[in-house]
Amino acid sequence: MHLSAKSQHATLVAGLLLAMFFSSLNQTVVGTAMPRIIGELGGLSIMTWVTTAYMLTSTTVVPIGGKLADLYGRRVVYITGLIIFMSGSALCGTSSNMPQLIFYRALQGIGGGIMMPLAMTIVGDIFTPEERGRWQGIMGAIFGLASVIGPTIGGWIVDYSSWKWVFYINLPIGLLATITIYLGLKNEKILTDKIVIDYSGAITLITGTVGLLLGLNLGGTEYPWSSWQILALMGVSLISWLLFINFENKAVEPVLSLALFNNRIFTVSNIVGFLMGLGMFGSIIFLPLFFQGVLGISATSSGNTMLPMMISMMITSVVVGQFATKIAFRSMYIAGMALMSVAFFLLSTMTVNTTQLAAMLYIVILGIGIGIVTPILTLAVQSAFGPEQRGVATSATQFFRSIGGTIGITVLGAFFNSYSVNMMRQEFFPAVQNAPLVMTDTVSDMLTKAQTDPRSLFNILLSPETLHKMTINMQQLLLPPLKNTLADSLHIVFWVAMIVSIVGILVSLLMGKAKLNNKNKRSMAEQAGVTLYTDRLAAEMELAADLVPDLIDGDHPKRKKDCYRG
């Protein structure tokens, strides 16, 4: 198929938006469906691994995928990510138990980790700094649109069909995105020089990340923190990270150049992104658990309850993109993290008596805070570097935000698991142990088994089929104290997320007064009317000094390469 340069540009943008849409849709659809998946497959104690496995693999792959795209070209790497993602989605739908689902989600995460940073990198390649704010807002709006309809679609699917379709829905959208990306990047040019792969850096990055996250997730639950298993994992992680730093200092083409951290905007932005990811991802996955388990609403209603949050994120992201050149990065970071802190505090006060309307108000505040910070992270980092460093810098931003989310899910999941066991023993068992109904064989056996795994009783609240089979007397005995215990157990999640957000405010103070350059300058390639598929990179590099904020004193990596000719 032959397309004009203008049509290819439009096709590429459409492909990027489609890819953003369906990857975002996957996250929100699966989140809403998780309580029903747990109700059917069981495994509440390993619930967080469904998300952790995805985040672990996607986080690890992000900087590697970004570097491979610099070396082999955007198109081949992007399409590979799309194919892996769709394959993982199809396999997730075939899962018959929780371990299978976790494994397939890990595969899906590899594709997702390749896709997300490349979309942002290509936006940085084809638009000037002045235009990126608007397009970051548009990308945020697409994310918001997927987030708005995702929970509703997810709830509708699990209420009226099978949860398996929350994964199958990715396939048609993903196929269309693959076709448009393929056509849009058809004339991409890459270097034919000898490619140098930093295998040592990639391997140590993987082992360091996996060892850390496995140790955090298994510690205190499967094994004591002082056990040899946990100490071994942490030791492997520490040694791997030390080796990674050593290899990156010597590598010709490092996976993640340590010279980037000499730039204050890069360092502060990534710390803020890490903390935002830790609090945001780690807490949001527990919101459907509260709505469906404590408030007792259906999966569809749970999804609808999340709608205001997603809409507020979408609107805020668009507005922030429009005004990105007028307000300092520091002010936006502080405002966003402060609103997140307030929202997490309010969420920590929710009980069984909290109304659905009040919960919606709290998460709207959370959505506004997230919507302020998210687009600015990428804009700030891309403004700090020229085109020759944009791919790796953008990927690094996604990496730190993702690793923050992965650690957040792991850490907050560990807090929830540990705290919920204590709350069950302090609140639930004393509340029901003297009731006459406990003497019946059915209830007595249930409570006896729950003594070894108290959290398993929460599955009752998440499975409509189980609730339907229970007698009225059993429901009156078990459900009120069980809901109270679950609500109190979730408080620890929001408390920790609030503390993390407050730390993010303090870190933001170190940012300085940098903001996006608003000079109306465009690359010479654009002035000549040449589009994405010309040799625009050289012209952009000539103007790089004018496009970087004045206070930045960025250091360049040891070796610069024009790896992507857009």
Indicate if the pLDDT at residue 236 is higher than 90.
yes
Q: Are 206 and 214 in contact (CB under 8 A)?
A: no
**Which helix (H) or strand (E) segment is 190 a member of?**
strand 189-190
* Residue 342 or 252, more confident: 342
What six digits make up the tokens of 124? 């940085």
**548-559: average pLDDT:** 33
> Which backbone phi and psi does 187 adopt, to 5 degrees?
-100, 20
Provide the phi-psi class of 521: left if phi over 0, else alpha when psi is between -120 and 50, else beta: beta
Contacts of 513 (CB under 8 A, 6+ apart): 328, 330, 551
| Confidence band of 364 (pLDDT split at 50, 70, 90) | very high
Q: 356-383 and 299-322 helices cross at what angle (nearest 10)? A: 40
pLDDT in tens, 152-161: 777 788 777 7
Least confident of 51-60, 82-91, 145-154, 231-240: 145-154
pLDDT score for 25: 74
Confidence of residue 350 (pLDDT cuts 50, 70, 90): very high
C-alpha to C-alpha distance for 143 and 267, rounded to whole angstroms: 25
Return d(Cα 205, Cα 61) in angstroms, integer.
Answer: 9
Assigned token pair, 453: 């795994």
pLDDT beyond 80 at 502:
yes
Which amino acid is located at 240 in the chain?
Answer: S
Q: Give the per-residue pLDDT at 337.
A: 94
The mean predicted confidence, pLDDT, of the chain is 76
Helix-helix angle 47-72:74-92, to 10 degrees: 160
Percent of the chain residues topping a pLDDT of 70: 76
pLDDT of 238 strictly over 90: yes
Length of the chain: 566
Mean pLDDT along residues 196-205: 83
Q: What is the pLDDT of residues 391-412, one digit of tens each?
A: 677 778 877 887 787 778 778 8
Which of 79-93, 152-166, 311-325, 437-451 has the highest mean predicted lDDT (pLDDT)? 79-93
Q: How far apart are CA 268 and CA 510, in angstroms?
A: 7
Res 416 pLDDT > 60: yes
Average confidence (pLDDT) over 222-243: 90
Contacts of 211 (CB under 8 A, 6+ apart): 233, 234, 236, 237, 240
- What is the rounded CA–CA span in Å between residue 379 and residue 369? 17
pLDDT at residue 275, rounded to an integer: 92
Contact assessment for residue 253 and residue 196, using Cβ atoms and an 8 Å cutoff? yes
pLDDT surpassing 80 at residue 54: yes
**Which of the four pLDDT bands, split at 50, 70 and 90, describes residue 562?**
very low
Angle between helices 299-322 and 129-160 (to 10 degrees): 170
Under DSSP, the state recorded for 457 is G
Position 128 confidence tier, pLDDT thresholds 50, 70, 90: low
How far is the C-alpha of 525 from the C-alpha of 384, rounded, in Å?
Answer: 21
Residues of the chain with CATH 1.20.1250.20: 5-198+251-422+487-565
Give the confidence band of 495 by pLDDT, cuts at 50, 70, 90: very high
Per-residue confidence (pLDDT) for residue 555, from 0 to 100: 38
Query: Rounded to two decimals, what is the model's pTM?
Result: 0.69
Closest CA to 101 of 45, 171, 37: 37
pLDDT at 552: 28
Cα separation, 51 vs 280, in Å, equals: 13
CATH topology of domain 5-198+251-422+487-565: Growth Hormone; Chain: A; (1.20.1250)
Q: What is the pLDDT of residue 212?
A: 83
pLDDT at residue number 413: 79
How confident is the model over 277-294, as a mean pLDDT?
A: 81
Stretch among 158-162, 321-325, 532-536 having the lowest mean pLDDT: 532-536
- The token duo for 235 is 């030791």
